[in-house]
Chain A
Amino acid sequence: MSKLAELARLIRSKNAGPFELTFDIMFDDAAVYQRVRDSGALTREAIAARYGLPPAEVKFFYCDNALAVKATIPRPVPQGDLRDGDGHGGQQYAPLMDIEIPGRKV
């Protein structure tokens, strides 16, 4: 088992416009990316569970040529609205960092 943060080159979050929040999980190494992609641990359902959403509200993509996994969710509060605490959406990725990815180092 490895934590996702130990395998990814970069895990980030950002606004995708004022009403959506997007996550990019990026890898340096094709074998590591494939291990994560094929592990069954980083899925639409896993993201939905971490952010308390029904899976249907999560847009989810494997981007093979970018060695990246991407997910987009509706913002809980629109950017800059009264209860928004993260105007750029830049610090919303932390719950993804400790997702356990099965398998050995490749």
Chain B
Amino acid sequence: MTPAARTMEEIRILSPTGVMGSGFLETSFERALAHLPHFIGCDAGSTDPGPSHLGAGHAAFPRPAVKRDLRLMLIGARRLGIPLLIGSAGTAGADAHVEWTFEILREIAHEESLSFTLALICAEQDKAYLKRRLGEGRIKPLNPAPQFDEHTIERAERIVGMMGAEPFLRALDAGADVVLAGRSSDTAIFAGLPMQHGFAPGLAWHAAKILECGAAAVVNRKTPDCMMAFIRDDHFIVQAPDPGLRCTPQSIAAHSLYENADPFLIKECSGTINLTASRYEAVDERAVRVSGSRFIPADVYTVKLEGAEKVGYQSVFIGSIRDPFIIRQIDDWVTRLEGRIHARVAQVYGAALKAGDYHLNFRIYGKNGTMGPLEPVKEIRSHELCLIIEVTAPAQETASDIAGIIRHQGLHLPIPEWSGLITALACPYNPAHLDRGAVYRFCVNHVVEPDDPYEMFPMQLFSVAGATVRECGA
């Protein structure tokens, strides 16, 4: 990005909440608008809710919750005549998620009789494009990364690219009042406009890093809420609009730790945010002044990929054990149960379903259900255990049928201490298992080296006037 001459003394940025659909106080939002922000930005997604949202094309937050937040933001932005920038629409930011959010936005425009120019920016990647870039050696692994080849691309339900600041700026330059973007770097939503107005990239990106989580960086977080940044020539100020919320130098410095692998160096498409020389000073009891943050431009522009593939269909059996004889031999008991399940499946399905075609997983709560192999406590100190047994198979019907086998084999699995027919598991549900549908895994942790920041993120422009939505060309 070419550095611009600074066109204003201060740029004021409002982030209503850390993720659209998690909410914010209307009183805080109104206080923030009274500061006359130059734009509103909101992150609407993350990988944090898990791979199923990207895989299945569903959002993590309820539709009415997203609509409530988006309605307030849209009305506020239109009232002030300022841009509203939304990134990572619908949690995972693939086409289905952008379309879902677009539909909500159209409803609001209709209900509130709002008129604006809208840019939609897509982030889902064409498989042929990815194969071409892979063949050219321009898709590179991050660390740690799963195996990635043509088959990975083929198997994936969806792969998205995480856009940088440039596609947002292109949309604003094209006349957009509202930008609804697919998967985006959280910071890219906020960092572009300040840089375009000539503010230092280090300050713009660092302020963006704090803003993208809303009021998460305050000392006394109560609920998700609004945050503001005021970027000036050689520093920026952060402050939450709610007068009850306090930012301290420590709370702002500590925020760069959250969900980041490295607290000082944060990688973006166009470079690295470097916080090693950042200084944090209290302005008053609630506001913090930050300076010294740098941005080191990258030699090669890279776009991070996220992808999800379907693992299969799953059913889950839940049961508990209270008998101390079974608890003291639980590992052995589970091994014997696993053997019996496989034997019974072989008896029922024969060659039609081999052991490698389905997957069993045993979680023993009360022993190591939370930490699995990382659990340092080896002895069981509980008087009861909860067993969750999952089966993942190529079809839901198969998974469901095997869950029935699991129940019956587990229920009566004998132990040497008792003679005669025992019932070893307490089942809280009837039927005893739950069908979970398709399950997914993240299958990519790689970056693409595109020719430019835009080729992976096509844009469409729409003229929205109440219920009328007309495409006006990109």
Question: Which A residues contact B (CB, under 8 angstroms)?
Answer: 14-20, 22, 24, 26, 50-52, 59, 61, 63, 65-68, 70, 72, 74-83, 85-88, 91-92, 94-95
Contacts and interface: CB of A to CB of B under 8 A. Distances in A.
Which of B51, B52, B142, B263 neighbours the largest number of chain A CB atoms within 10 Å of its CB? Answer: B263
B378 to A, nearest CB: 12
Contacts of B142: 19
A34 B440 CA distance: 44
Contact of A85 (B259, B262, B369): B369
A63 B144 CA distance: 24
Which of B48, B52, B257, B259 neighbours the largest number of chain A CB atoms within 10 Å of its CB? Answer: B257
Given A67-B250, A88-B48, A78 B256 contact: no
Given A61-B263, A65-B250, A80-B440, A17 B47 contact: yes
A33 B258 CA distance: 18
Interface of B: 47-52, 142, 144-146, 249-250, 253-254, 256-264, 278-280, 306, 311, 359, 361, 363, 369-374, 376, 390, 392, 439-442, 445
Contact of A72 (B258, B261, B280): B261
A76 B372 CA distance: 9
A52 B376 CA distance: 9
Contacts of A77: 372
Per DSSP, are chain A's interface residues mostly helix, strand or loop, or mixed?
loop
Contacts, number: 120
A91 B144 CA distance: 21
Given A85-B369, A85-B371, A59 B441 contact: no
Which of A51, A83, A85 neighbours the largest number of chain B CB atoms within 10 Å of its CB? Answer: A85
B259 A18 contact: no
Contacts of A92: 370-371, 374
A94 B259 CA distance: 18
B259 A91 contact: no
A67 B256 CA distance: 12
Contacts of B376: 50, 95
Contacts of A80: 50-52, 440-442
A100 to B, nearest CB: 14
Contacts of A81: 51, 311, 441-442
Given A76-B372, A76-B373, A63 B52 contact: no
A96 to B, nearest CB: 10
Contacts of B146: 19, 78
B258 A82 contact: no
Contacts of A70: 257, 263
A67 B261 contact: no
A91 to B, nearest CB: 5
A24 B249 contact: no
A87 to B, nearest CB: 5
A19 B261 CA distance: 10
Contact of A16 (B260, B264, B373, B374): B260
6 closest Cβ pairs, A-B complex: A66-B253, A66-B254, A80-B50, A16-B261, A80-B51, A18-B442
Given A52-B374, A76-B374, A17 B445 contact: yes
Given A16-B259, A18-B47, A24-B257, 16 more contacts: A18-B306, A52-B374, A63-B254, A65-B250, A65-B278, A65-B280, A66-B257, A67-B250, A68-B254, A68-B263, A72-B261, A72-B262, A74-B144, A79-B47, A81-B51, A82-B311
A26 B371 CA distance: 22
Given A65-B249, A76-B374, A88-B48, A82 B441 contact: yes
Nearest to A61: B263
Which of A24, A66, A68, A86 neighbours the largest number of chain B CB atoms within 10 Å of its CB? Answer: A66
Contact of A61 (B49, B262, B361, B390): B262
Nearest to A62: B263
Contacts of A59: 261-262
Contacts of A66: 250, 253-254, 256-257, 263
A79 B444 CA distance: 12
Contacts of A87: 49-50
Contacts of B445: 17-19
Contacts of B361: 82-83
16 contacts: A15-B47, A16-B261, A18-B47, A18-B306, A20-B144, A61-B264, A63-B254, A66-B254, A66-B263, A72-B261, A76-B373, A80-B52, A81-B442, A87-B50, A91-B370, A92-B371
